[in-house]
């Protein structure tokens, strides 16, 4: 046994001009017909919403309004708070009622981090005290170091005869 199903969204609009107006107005299309069809045998809920989103875009809804309408299906007084929290967990959202607790958690973590950082600086300091062999070059600017490197390359390049032609 085979199962065939099709879903259709249809939009028909006509504009009847009033006395003194004409179809030369660029803001209006005198007649619109839009038909969106899709095989519905295996569509899941998200695919149905995607299809309906395309239909709503075709009839002139803006994407922001479509998203707002979709969210209002979940976050309204007729939906149990438990169900709303499930959606929040699925999409990593925070409800307004939970913001104070989340803020307190952030403050607690910041305090812990400051405590760990202070302990680290006390025991190890913020930077090494002895720079070793690089400390000798700390007094030179970048240009000075480039000049020294150029002189080194000239003195010790392979093209230079170290015996100055004696041999």
What are the 10-residue block averages of pLDDT along the chain, 167 residues in total? 86 77 65 88 90 91 94 93 94 92 94 87 65 69 88 78 57
Q: What is the pLDDT of residue 111?
A: 93
3-state helix, strand, coil in the chain (%, to 5): 50, 10, 40
d(C-alpha 11, C-alpha 2), whole Å:
30
Backbone angles phi and psi of 12, in degrees to 5: -125, 130
Q: What is the pLDDT of residue 30?
A: 75
Question: What is the pTM assigned to this prediction?
Answer: 0.53
Contact 137, 145 (CB under 8 A): yes
Residues in the chain: 167
Backbone angles phi and psi of 64, in degrees to 5: -65, -40
Residue 109, number of CB atoms within 10 A of its CB: 10
Q: What is the pLDDT of residue 54?
A: 92
d(C-alpha 46, C-alpha 4), whole Å:
20
Kindly list the distances between the CA atom of residue 157 and the CA atoms of 12, 84, 133, 142, 148, in Å, as whole numbers in the listed order: 83, 73, 24, 22, 14
Separation of first and last alpha carbons in the chain: 101
């Amino acid at each position: 046994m085979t199962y065939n199903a099709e879903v259709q969204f249809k939009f028909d609009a006509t504009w009847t001009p009033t006395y003194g107006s004409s179809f030369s107005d660029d803001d209006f299309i005198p007649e619109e017909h839009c038909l969106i069809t899709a095989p519905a045998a295996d569509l899941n809920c998200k695919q149905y919403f995607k299809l309906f989103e395309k239909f709503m875009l075709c009839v002139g809804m803006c994407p922001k309004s479509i998203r707002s309408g979709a969210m209002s299906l979940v976050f309204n007084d007729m939906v149990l708070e438990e169900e709303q929290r499930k959606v929040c967990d699925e999409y990593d959202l925070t409800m307004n009622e939970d913001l104070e607790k989340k803020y307190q958690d952030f403050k607690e973590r910041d305090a812990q981090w400051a405590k760990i950082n202070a302990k680290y600086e006390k025991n190890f300091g913020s930077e090494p005290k002895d720079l070793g062999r690089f400390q000798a070059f700390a007094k030179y600017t970048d240009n000075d170091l480039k000049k020294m490197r150029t002189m080194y390359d000239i003195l010790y390049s392979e093209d230079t005869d170290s015996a100055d032609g004696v041999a």
